[in-house]
Amino acid sequence: MKMQSSDFEAILCQARDFAAKAESAESLQEFTVSLIAEKLPHYNWVGFYMLDPADPQMLVLGPFRGAATPHVRIPVTQGICGAAVAQEQTVVVDDVASDPRYLACSLETRSEIVVPIRAGGKVVGEIDIDSHAQAAFGSEDRSFLEECAAVIGTYIESSEAKRSSRPMSDG
Ligand code: SME
């Protein structure tokens, strides 16, 4: 399915508008997965994995759309998801069957893209997309998803900055 760059831009505009008034990173992630799943139905699984603050070597499943996955916690040493964090860069797999790192969620998945989310210069999580088509993700999908990751990362960064500048309360 060929998307126009204006389709991607429209989604990004809505995500940025929502981010400007979102009450939490989780509500922004919920909004983003639901918007992407609705507008880009060939993105068959759309979800977030975030690093566990209590165990930064572990990714934890966040808001998602698509089939239920057994992979609710993924060590950063495992899977395509772990590879994107370990390498601190986007990983695109055109044919998951030929990639030994791949952890299966659905038998129908043929290709996958995982894009890290950065806040304060560090990777804090990622967006993971699966498709039932082989080699579904090209350079435009990659740029679009990297922009989405930047919207979430910027939101997290500014909410952390607000939290650390807030005066300590008495309890
Ligand atoms: N395929 C991923 C695991 C996550 S599920 O696809 C939702 C991986 O290889 O890390």
Q: Is the CB of 59 under 6 A from ligand 1?
A: no
By most ligand atoms within 8 Å of CB, the mutation choice from 44, 69, 87 for ligand 1 is 69
Whether 28 and 18 have beta carbons less than 8 Å apart is answered as yes
Region 76-88: what's the mean pLDDT?
98
pLDDT in tens, 124-140: 999 999 999 999 999 99
Q: Residue 2's pLDDT band (boundaries 50, 70, 90)?
A: low
d(Cα 44, Cα 112) in Å, to the nearest integer? 10
- Greater confidence (96 vs 2) lies with 96
**Residue 104 Cα to ligand 1 middle (Å):** 6
DSSP labels for the chain?
-PPPHHHHHHHHHHHHHHHHH-S-HHHHHHHHHHHHHHH-TT--EEEEEEEETTEEEEEEEEEEESS--S-SEEETTSHHHHHHHHHTS-EEES-GGG-TT---S-TT--EEEEEEEEETTEEEEEEEEEESSTT---HHHHHHHHHHHHHHHHHHHHHHHHHHHSPPP--
**Average pLDDT of the residues of the chain:** 95
* pLDDT confidence band for 161 (50 / 70 / 90): confident
* 167's tokens: 């005066």
Task: Look at residue 168 and tell me whether its pLDDT is greater than 70.
Answer: no
Contact (CB, 8 A) for 114 and 82: no
Question: What residue type is 92 in one-letter code?
Answer: V
170 has a pLDDT exceeding 60: no
- Report the pLDDT value the prediction gives residue 171, as an integer from 0 to 100: 47
- Is beta strand 55-65 parallel, antiparallel or unpaired with respect to 111-119? unpaired
- Residue length, the chain? 171
Atom 3 in ligand 1: residue holding the nearest Cα: 103
**What radius of gyration do the chain's Cα atoms show?**
16
Assigned token pair, 86: 């370990």
Which of 23-27, 95-99, 115-119, 163-167 has the lowest average pLDDT? 163-167
pLDDT in tens, 50-70: 999 999 999 999 999 999 999
Say which CATH architecture domain 5-162 belongs to. 2-Layer Sandwich (3.30)
Domain ranges of the chain: 5-162
Q: How much is the pLDDT for 4? A: 74
pLDDT at res. 164: 83
